[in-house]
Amino acid sequence: MNKPLCLALAALLGLAACSAERISLFPSYKLKVIQGNELDSRAVVSLQPGMSRDQVQLLLGTPLLRDVFHADRWDYDFTISRNGIVQEKTDLTLYFKDNVLVKIEGNAIERAAQQLEAQRNAAQAR
């Protein structure tokens, strides 16, 4: 066999043995990626239907997503991931009608209540 062909076959076999999954097992620094709006628990709990858009924006900040096709919907998403694996994901969706908050959805409400309860318990334990 000729030498360049043997080298090409050896290189192909060597590259085929490598995969992203195997490479990720090597001990190295894995960057923690934080994306989105981190919401304050007290602010999330204090949301109430009937609030104006300005009041909501002052309380939570600018939403991550303002959908052009759904102008009456604001999305606040927050994700922490490391090495492509999501460790924490929080979402909050607010619906407005005539610039007034009418509906609140998402797992941020339960998380905020749990965090506030944990803070109260820690303060009472002292």
Identify the H or E element spanning 123.
helix 108-125
Cβ(52)–Cβ(97) under 8 Å? Answer: no
pLDDT at 83: 74
Which CA distances in Å does 42 have to 71, 76, 80, 88, 114?
26, 15, 20, 19, 11
pLDDT at 18: 60
Cβ(61)–Cβ(78) under 8 Å? Answer: no
Going along the chain from its start, the domains and CATH numbers come out as: 30-125 (3.30.1450)
Give the pLDDT confidence of 5-62 residue by residue, as tens digits: 887 777 766 666 666 566 566 666 677 887 887 888 899 999 999 999 999 999 998 8
pLDDT at 66: 75
Cβ(80)–Cβ(34) under 8 Å? Answer: yes
DSSP letter for each residue of 76-121:
EEEEEEETTEEEEEEEEEEEEETTEEEEEESTHHHHHHHHHHHHHH
In whole angstroms, give the CA distance from residue 108 to residue 126: 27
Identify the H or E element spanning 7.
helix 3-17
